[in-house]
Amino acid sequence: MKKELHVISTGRQSIDTLIEIVTEIHPFMDGFHVREKKLGAKQVFEIIERLAERGVPLSKIYVNDRIDVAVCSQVRGVQLTYESLPVDIVKKYFPNLRIGCSVHSLEEAIEKEEQGADFLIFGHIFETASKPGIAPRGVNRLSEICEAVTIPVLAIGGIRLDNIQKVMETKSSGVAVMSGILESRNPLETIQAYRKILNC
């Protein structure tokens, strides 16, 4: 089965830069998550509008937390966090949204699946600058979660070209990458390299 590759915005790039990069690399990814915590609903909606105008399919776009923006922009889904509305409530009122949940433990993963989540993003797997001083959860814990749930699990956190093979050896459904792609010197070449490994 083909492994999924999701790209998540970092919140550190300008909107123009982000749109330019995503427009170029979207053919090689399965999902793009607009995760811009510092921006309001209007600005996130405008990012999606501009991406759509540039040919990025709405079916590939997910919005972090903002269910209202996800529904109004008619994107594929929403990525919920521990501060978001409960999965079952979102599923009840917006059954057409594909709902992902960020989880950090086996208990959370099982709970979110029971509530109706469509997929999980689990991490962080390896050391990453975005989580300084916090020990990575590692591929063994990832494997444990993949075995415990039936929905897709994407790995996130410090996943680079030199360690992604360790993730591939688990039953995870793919990976989610932030700065490793978007902030690389050549995002197009980098995502193509990730895609090649995931397709093996």
The catalytic residue positions are 124
Take residue 123 and report the two structure tokens written for it: 């991490």
> Helices 41-53 and 15-25 sit at what angle, rounded to 10 degrees?
40
Decide if 136 contacts 126 (C-beta within 8 A): yes
33 close to 178: Cβ distance less than 8 angstroms: no
Closest CA to 142 of 160, 163, 168: 168
Sequence-separated (6 or more) residues with CB below 8 Å from residue 134: 124
